[in-house]
Structure 1
Amino acid sequence: MNLFMISSEAYPFSKTGGLGDIAGSLPLALNSIKIDSSLVVPLYKDNYKFVDKKSEYAKLKIKHDKNDIEVEIIKIKHPENLNITVYFIKQDKFFNRNGLYSENGKDYEDNASRFILFSKAVVQLIIYLYKKEKFKLDIIHLNDWQTSLIALYIKEVYNEEEALKNLKVIFTIHNLAYQGNFETDIYNLLNISWKFFVHSRLEFYGKVSFIKAGIILSDLITTVSPSYAKEIQSEGFGLNNLLAENSYKLFGVLNGVNDNSWNPKTDKYIKHHYSVDSNIDSVEECLKKKKIIRISLYKEFNLKNKNFPLITMISRFDPQKGLDLIYSSFFELSTYDGNFIFLFSKNNYFQNFEEEFIKRANRTKNIKVVFDFDEALAHRLTAGSDMYLMPSKFEPCGLNQIYSMKYGSLPIVHSVGGLKDTVINYKDSKSLNKATGFVFNDYSVNDFVDAMDFAFKIYNNKKVWNKLIYNAMNKDYSLLKTAKEYKKLYIKLLK
């Protein structure tokens, strides 16, 4: 089985969030279960350290409106697995920039043009490989709106090409809030007939919708958790009816965690490693290591009460993440016998809210807010914390709550999407043997604060708390499980 994973970002080459983590790691897991997978991504500014002159593979001419644009294909072996090929789409005018999609808080105005070119280049690469090397692809796995037009080009524009005949297309929606909807003035860049600008293809309230191509023309659609797959059929940002109509080919596959990147046994960003074994007493040893990390964080952030538990949140600064609940609960948070550290990546769309958020936090003694994309700090906060906040309004899957459980930090989450699928709520002694965190149902300040109150109450019951940590650290949310679920779908497709 030959498969191409196509993504606008993929770790370790490029990453802004969970899409980069999964798209970059899934080919490695698929390879371990005997699926020949390659990765295709744009060559961004930070990727040049991975390539050299020997990496140059091919040059392609891509028709882009009335222009012929030269695109170079760079071919390397994956630095973490030499059995996996990585193809970079190189076009410096389009991709050699300081950001992936935006800069200084503003989206690039030509994002539609950039990812139309990328989509065309991927299709031409598949055709080139077939003609030059007789390489026949079985499945192409697309991710999010930036790649969804590829389904249209494969199924209806270039469908007579031998390389594309019988090629199966799977399309994964990582976050339906991002759809790739653009004004019709970009249509000529597609180099396709206007017959496709209809409701049953690309037209969406008078705009050109990239994501519709992926939903309508893919052979299978997946989302990143089972609950999210159900939710978007009723609350789908205007696409719920379309997704409900295509429910027969819509599946939820829970994202998994790459053990190489997030593992308290081996994490390169923390000095004191730990793990649990089959004996619950091993939790105490973990807590000793976590305390050392926590105290170093308190010293770094000038937090005085060193015996208080640490509660963290690591997220982009986006209202989707439940920031309004936290903002409205600052008084309650300031009264807890606990220290809070929030690590956010900046989002200039919400500049005013960011300023108000910081002002309110600065009135407290136990809450620190940091705006920075700091991978090392994210790992140290996860390792040193006792509780992790993720009160999202909606959450396709979420990875940070999985990371936190793996590191023995109990999550407090809203019962939605992937949070609902991954965190098992502790209610009472009946749930003690399975519970891994705390879940609140209504998206309200009252429910959020009640969950916080309950978590702090249980924190003081060390026997119960240690058992919850033990449960959480032993849950298997590995990427291998995700890969095995996808393998079933790939086999289903080919049959």
Structure 2
Amino acid sequence: MNNFLFVAAENDGLHKCKAGGMGDVVRDVPRQISERGDKVHVVVPAYSRLHHGGMFKTNLNFELRGTTYTAELYEVIPKKEFSNIHHYVIHHPEIEGGEIAKIYHDNSVEPFFTDFIKYVIFCTAVAEAIKQGAFGELDIVHMHDWHSSLVLFLKTYHPAYGSLKKIRFVYTIHNLAIQGIRPFENNYASLRNWFPNISYDTEKLKDYRYQDCINLMAVGIRFADAVHTVSPSYKEDVMLPSRPPEFIGGEGLEKDLKEADEQGRLFGILNGSNYSNINVETKGMIYRNTVIALFRWLQDETKKYKADFLAHTGEKIMKHIIESRPGFIVSSVARLTEQKFYFFKRSPEAFVAILKKLEKVNGIFILLGTGAPEYEELFRKISYENRNFIFTNGQSERLIDSIYLESDLYFMPSLFEPCGISQMLAMRNGVPCLVHHTGGLKDTVEHMKTGFSFDGDTFDEKIKNMLDTYDLALDIYTNDKPLWKKIQTNAKKMRFTWKKSVDAYYKLLYLCG
């Protein structure tokens, strides 16, 4: 039996421990591993809340900033129990929940300041727990994004954690654009402040652009035994330099990624999707679930500043229910960030043009999400000005389920996309997707077969092709029902299974297949 440890910032196997697609992966891959008879431990930060009701396992004592820190390891109850899977959280008062999904902090003046501090404490506690044998004798540690990569720094440079070198370390890149860059010196959230007595090689840790800084995403890529991108096409993308906004590639780390590939350490394996034990809403409940979500958000203290807008959205929904049900629903569910909606932020007139085209088929556009303030403000403004745009500015799992179930077309114009889970969830319900032909979207949506895709050599060309492809989709829906039905059926038949993905993990990443 192999013994695994997953180290991540998110785990959707636990309640209220997800902000993005990483949480889905950290939930689903251990379940596949357990089905093979292997053992998995999953550890995430407690964020000052997830340890409540958990079972205390042990204190973890370690040195940081020249003083002794004590963190607590708890085993916690997951959403669903699976044999051979154990879920843990690490609690320390300085590992706080942030503004984003009560997980990440948004330090606008000094990016990554607070998150660097809490993930340094978390990773050091994880290294200490491994050293103590809290998870048993481990064969493989699978880390996710920059939040966990400091474990590799400790394994390499910290004399207390040399015993970790006998374990195989795998590193998965979920979002290469967020790299966890902080100064080496002269800052509270600097590497030297937290590890004042450790000798390390700045050349092997530095960021190429900010050479007085450590790049924790680069640490994961440079020091892991295997590096993994979450789709084959994204692997090819990241070995090329970025040319924003036309192309998003290696984001300054393409040299490291090419080197990892030449060394046989870089692998592109498509994420899977869950096709069993699905919590699906009853069809016809999308408006009811929208109203319920709006009332809940109105009672949430953190959303009081949005009360007028939430009430405006509720009134709009009630008009659609009472006066006339829409004939066509286009939807998007995503964090409101540059990655997901750059095209609309830079060219809002293109989004308004989409809404105008929808009027011809009595259609509405439903967008669910929260995120960057400037994106929220943009979509609130467009919602006030356009009757057929329903902006549900919050998070609700039941409403998300209804959106995936009841939409006619799912829209995903990501600037770049390492893999994407939303298109898989929409296709699972037989909803064709309209996507930007990039990264994992290339690997999952085939134009005119299972959905629609657009591309272009310049930004303006991409916008034009996006609108033309949108026209094509509406034309087929309106005038060629047999073809539309065929695309729906093809989309629903697609199976991006975790079994297939984890087969490749065992063979290429874990070397135990």
Please report how far the alpha carbon of residue 297 of structure 1 lies from its aligned counterpart in structure 2 after TM superposition.
7.2
CA contact (8 A) 1:339 1:367 kept: yes
TM-score (norm 1): 0.85
Aligned with residue 266 of structure 2, among 227, 250, 259? 250
Task: Name the amino acid aligned to 1:72.
Answer: E
Pairing of 1:219-368 with structure 2 (within 5 A): 219-234=225-240, 235-247=249-261, 248-260=264-276, 263=278, 266-267=279-280, 270-272=281-283, 292-293=284-285, 301=317, 302-303=319-320, 304-325=323-344, 327-329=348-350, 330-336=352-358, 337=361, 338-348=363-373, 350=374, 353-368=375-390
Q: 1:332 to 1:75 in 2, by over 3 A?
A: closer
Alignment-mate amino acid for residue 237 of structure 1:
E
Which letter maps to 1:245? Answer: E
Match status 1:121 vs 2:125: yes
Partner of 1:59: 59
CA distance in 1, matches of 2:199, 2:237: 32
Choose the corresponding residue for 1:421, options 419, 443, 462: 443
Query: Once the 2 structures are TM-superposed, how far is the Cα of residue 465 of structure 1 from its aligned partner?
Result: 1.3
Out of 500, 504, 512, the residue aligned to residue 481 of structure 1 is 500
Provide the identity percentage: 27
| TM-score, scaled to structure 2 | 0.82
**Matched residue count:** 452
CA distance in 1, matches of 2:389, 2:339: 21
Q: Secondary structure at the match of 2:166?
A: coil
CA drift of 1:490 comes to 4.0
Letter in 2 for 1:409: V
Q: Do the aligned residues in 2 keep the contact of 1:294 with 1:385 (CA within 8 Å)? A: no
Shift of 1:327: 2.2
Q: 1:69 aligns to what?
A: 69
Provide the C-alpha distance between the structure 1 equivalents of 2:328 and 2:23, rounded to a whole number of angstroms: 31
Select between 297-306 and 333-342 the one with higher mean Cα deviation.
Answer: 297-306
Equivalent of residue 459 in structure 1, options 477, 485, 491: 477
8 Å contact from structure 2 (residues 107, 113) kept in 1: no
**Corresponding letter in the other structure for 2:333:** I
- What does residue 151 of structure 1 align with? 152
Structure 2 residue 224 is the aligned partner of structure 1 residue 218: yes
Alpha-carbon shift at residue 96 of structure 1 (Å) = 5.8
Gap regions ≥5 residues in structure 1: 273-291, 427-434
Structure 2: tracts of 5 or more residues without a match: 241-248, 292-313
Q: What is the alpha-carbon distance in structure 2 between the residues aligned to residue 88 and residue 175 of structure 1?
A: 23
Q: 1:445 to 1:467 in 2, by over 3 A?
A: same
Kept in 2, the 8 Å contact 1:257–1:479? The answer is yes
CA distance in 2, matches of 1:451, 1:342: 19
SS of residue paired to 2:469: helix
Shift of 1:194: 6.6
SS at match of 2:204: coil
Match of 1:471 in 2: 490
Secondary structure at the residue paired with 2:95? helix
Tell me the amino acid that sits aligned with residue 449 of structure 1. Answer: L
| Equivalent residue runs for 1:5-84 within 5 Å | 5-13=6-14, 14-49=17-52, 51-52=53-54, 55-76=55-76, 78=78, 79-84=80-85
Superposed CA offset, 1:116-150 (max 9, x none):
111111111111017xx8x3211100000000111
Give the letter for the 2:229 counterpart.
T
User: Structure 1 residues 313, 462: closer, same or farther in 2, change over 3 A?
Assistant: same
Aligned counterparts of 2:162 and 2:137: Cα–Cα separation in 1? 12
SS, match of residue 10 in structure 1: coil
Q: Within 1, Cα distance between the matches of 2:289 and 2:509? A: 45
The alpha-carbon distance between structure 1 residues 77 and 94, as it changes in their structure 2 partners (threshold 3 A), is closer
Inter-CA distance 365–179: structure 2 relative to 1 (3 Å threshold): same
Counterparts of 1:382 and 1:160 in 2: how far apart (Å)?
Answer: 46
Q: Distance in 2 between matches of 1:366 and 1:347?
A: 23
Distance 1:193 1:250, change over 3 A: farther
